[in-house]
A and B are shown apart, each in its own frame.
Chain A
Amino acid sequence: MRVTELQAPNKLQLAAERYALIKLGSLNLMLLQDGIRTLESIADLESKEPPANGIGWISFQGSAWPVYCLTEDLGIHDTLPESYRICALLSIENGFVGLVCNEVILMAKNEVRPQSIPVCMVSANSPITALVHYEDSMACLTSPQLLADFLTFQDTGISHLKTSRSHYG
């Protein structure tokens, strides 16, 4: 079941200013909406022979793409929390990567003002590039590629993110 397939952004309409929030527990990840290719139900997740540190595969455009489950501390979840009901399929350089989450919120076009991460909180391998204060909350700005690179790093070098699986096992 495909929940939503997002429209390709029209650059003339400044779609790059539209952001989305991916909620992982109390953590809000913010990224450009055009970095999210589709939203899938986790009911479509194939959990047989999952990728290293991942929880399964999701089928899209004839291939299976690795799906990961992160804690609100960006640690690896071994099992899928009941509250994670959506898989956001993120566009990366050579395909897609899935990230399961509580909720995805497509934000109205508005002005996002990134603020620097305090120096004492910076981590060399973090996929987070800035902080964004919006409404009464805070989000961590990132991108699909940075998240994919982070997951690859977590995976101690196994580059399964660079290729999809051709078929389900």
Chain B
Amino acid sequence: MADTKAWILQFDSQHRAAVGQRELLHLDQAASRYPFPLAPAHCREVIYWQGRPIPLMDIAIWLGNSKSNLDMERQKYIGIVGYQTRQGETPQFGALWLAQPPSLIIVSDNQACDLSKAGMEWSPLATACFNHEHDTSEHEPVPVLDLMRIFAPNADGMHKAQLKSPAYELTP
């Protein structure tokens, strides 16, 4: 039974998800942000990281929270993530607004559960899910983000199966 490490990312008071340990590359609190018009509402800012323009996503908005329901403190940290659209390709990067610093956990295969337990709103953003013991000792489903689908929605789906990431090994 394989164990793997994953980062728990908290987007607002209600929404959290995980990425593989190797997918989260950097945490920033002071990145300069630049507006980019006509993009989707959840992704209207760009930051520069290592000389490249990186899209900055607000997953809480993507999940359908109206502005009035969003807690004001959710945009405190920026997590830089990396992904590949195909194996062997130069890594691509994206950024996510986070409400808290990420926490590293160990996940076992036997924690895998159906993604639908996390809610249907996660289906465009995640491909897997696992049960995780929350602070309250309750188990709750944590979706595993599909970074390629989030940041490169037009990438050839055929290449997804070639990805090697701990996150994808959790698919039940």
Residues of A within 8 A of B (CB): 26-27, 72-74, 115-123, 125-126, 128, 131, 133, 136-138, 140
Besides the known contacts A26-B35, A119-B153, A120-B40, 10 further A-B residue pairs in the complex with CB atoms under 8 A apart? A27-B37, A72-B37, A73-B35, A74-B38, A115-B52, A115-B53, A116-B53, A122-B39, A123-B39, A131-B53
B43 adjacent to A131 (CB under 8 Å): no
Q: Are B35 and A128 in touch, CB under 8 angstroms?
A: no
A120 CB contacts on chain B under 8 angstroms = 39-40, 43, 55, 57, 94, 150-153
Give chain B residues whose Cβ lies under 8 Å from the Cβ of A73.
35, 37-38, 44
Chain A nearest CB from B95 CB (Å) reads 10
Per the CB 8 Å criterion, the residue count for chain B at the interface is 25
Q: Are B55 and A118 in contact (CB under 8 A)?
A: yes
Greatest chain B CB density within 10 A among A119, A131, A136 is at A119
Given contacts A27-B35, A74-B37, A125-B38, contact A138 B153 (CB under 8 A): no
Choose from A115, A118, A126, A136 the contact partner of B37 (Cβ within 8 Å).
A126
Task: Enumerate B120-153 residues with CB–CB distance to A below 8 Å.
Answer: 150-153
Task: Confirm or deny: B32 has a beta carbon within 8 angstroms of a beta carbon on chain A.
Answer: yes
Q: How far is the CB of A99 from chain B (nearest CB, A)?
A: 14
Contact A123 B38 (CB under 8 A): yes
Q: A116: which B residues are within 8 A, CB to CB?
A: 53
Does B51 make an interface contact (CB < 8 A)?
yes
Nearest A residue (CB) for B52: A115
What residues on A are CB-neighbors of B155 within 8 Å? 119
B147, chain A: closest CB distance, angstroms: 11
Are B46 and A118 in contact, CB atoms less than 8 angstroms apart? yes
Shortest B43–chain A CB gap in Å is 6
A-B CB contact pairs (8 Å), 6 listed: A118-B55, A119-B153, A122-B39, A126-B38, A131-B36, A140-B37
